[in-house]
Amino acid sequence: MLASRGELPLILQRPVRGPHGQAVLALLTPAGALFDGDVVELEVECEAGSDVTLTTAAATRLNRCDGDGIEVHMHVRVDDAATFRYLPHELIPFAGARYRQQIEVEVAPAGAAALLEVIGPGPSAAPFAYDALEFATSVCAAGRLSARERFSVSSRSVRQFGEWTHYGSLLALGVPTLATVSCAGPVQLAGSALPGGGVVVKALGSSAQALRAALVDRLCSIDWLHPLLPP
């Protein structure tokens, strides 16, 4: 990693190096939470030949919002022969939380990217009491739109989860993935191929840790990464 700069409510921890110079960078919110009115802007550039994993130090709490809500915008550019992974811990939305997330990724023809998302029900005393969580993700490969997803979750729509309490997804483009993986806990997985290559995996579970582990384990050749990720 050549340079980084961060401002509250986000702090960038010093990167950890992998065995071949890979960079593992953790994002940290000092309060372990985002608050009403917080706007996070992330710009990530992965130059040719780099290998960057962006994660979070722990789960991120989304606090109650009585105003404009919480917004997170991330734009990523991945050059040829570069790899980018976004492997955060889960979001924990508290009662009244309103959250909007937008991720845009541009991947060069020989680049690779993987995006993970895990959403929990909130605190056990008041699960599914948040107002709305909105997500918009788009991935362009070699200048063409490869994947676009928009969805929202609210206290009214979570009935679609059935018996499950946690939702997760993994979008991988140019990154080797396993066809199947054994899960340590109760997790239900389903995957499909993306036009032009890549895969998207959706998951439901009853544990954030088990669900996140099952999705991360779909990525091949990252044994070196597991001990470097925050627990």
Contact 164, 206 (CB under 8 A): yes
Instruction: Quickly state the pLDDT bin for 231 (edges 50, 70, 90).
Output: confident
Confirm whether 137 is domain-assigned: yes
Confirm whether 213 is domain-assigned: yes
Confirm whether 9 is domain-assigned: no
The tens digit of pLDDT for each residue in 167-204 reads: 999 999 999 898 776 666 688 888 898 877 899 999 99
The tens digit of pLDDT for each residue in 19-39 reads: 999 999 999 887 889 999 999
pLDDT score for 139: 96
| Mean pLDDT within 126-150 | 94
Confirm whether 97 is domain-assigned: yes
Q: Which residues pair with 136 in a beta bridge?
A: 102, 150
> DSSP characters for 32-93?
SEE-TT-EEEEEEEE-TT-EEEEEESS-EEE---SSS-EEEEEEEEE-TT-EEEEE---EEE
Q: pLDDT at residue 2 above 60?
A: no
Confirm whether 2 is domain-assigned: no
Alpha carbon distance, N-terminus to C-terminus of the chain: 22
The tens digit of pLDDT for each residue in 52-103 reads: 999 999 999 999 999 999 999 999 999 999 999 999 999 999 999 999 999 9
Confirm whether 1 is domain-assigned: no
pLDDT score for 81: 96
Total number of domains constituting the chain = 1
In this prediction the pTM is 0.93
Residue numbers of the domain that contains 187: 15-228
Confirm whether 8 is domain-assigned: no
Confirm whether 5 is domain-assigned: no
